[in-house]
Amino acid sequence: MGWAVCAGVAEDPDLELAAAVDPSHAGEEVGGLTVAADLDALGEGGVEVAVDFTRPDAVVDNVRFLLESGIHAVVGTTGIGPEEQELIRGWAEGGSANAIVAPNFSVGAVLSQQLAEQAAPHFPAAEVIELHHDQKLDAPSGTAAATARRIAAARGEAWKGPGDESVPGVRGGEVDGVRVHSIRLPGLVAHQEIIFGGRGQTLSIRHDSTDRSSFIPGVLLAVKTVATRPGLTVGLEPLLGL
């Protein structure tokens, strides 16, 4: 995603790629720049907005560095839960830099979550299946976790399906009482299916990102608007008027 974001920024006439940071690829070239090894390169490059697609174990420290350095943060790294969001909110409020944290920057994925939230009150049961490439470090995905929480908050009553397992873990995990199943395979990019069940019927809402370019329009929208949104903004929905 880092390489894709750099390419998207470099190709946008309204933006300038000012720095790129990745300790694993330091010294390589991207968008006419040499990739740096540490975050100090952002200040040296005069960066106004930084985009973070890193790792769950690094992202919170990265965002704190950005906000305390007066650099707006656009965060697509998954693994940021409510507790981490509150930390980021505290750092952003009253400061000179803002943050946008989104579990998914694909417009289609965001719309599928909206549709799931609308459907949730009308079906007693729902489960989420998310499928990603085998290099994804966290499970479930941030999108799946956020989707499950929204379903749980929107439906009238919690639903408890059968929990007996002849093979441990085969029924998946639970996020706020909603079963979530994570699949990791080479050849996948990012995919999610939400299946609702009711008496005599089912409803499936599925979104597929077949290429990482699907996330770039949402990322660029966040980059261009983060300076106008004080504090912390969670999700792409507010930027899309949803």
Residues designated as active site: 132, 136
Return the DSSP state at 214.
Answer: G
In the block, residue with structure tokens 């390169």: 41
Cα separations in angstroms, 228 against 47, 77, 82, 109, 122 = 16, 22, 23, 24, 37
The Cα 230–Cα 224 span in angstroms is 13
The pair of structure tokens assigned to 191 is 């995919």
How far apart, in whole angstroms, are the C-alpha atoms of residue 22 and residue 227?
Answer: 24
- Residue 151 phi, psi dihedral angles, 5° rounding: -65, -45
Amino acid at site 83: E
**Secondary structure of 227-242 in HEC code, one letter for each residue:** HHCCCEEECCHHHHCC
Q: Which of 133, 131, 149, 140 is nearest to 173 (CA)?
A: 140
Which two three-digit tokens encode residue 27? 């010294």
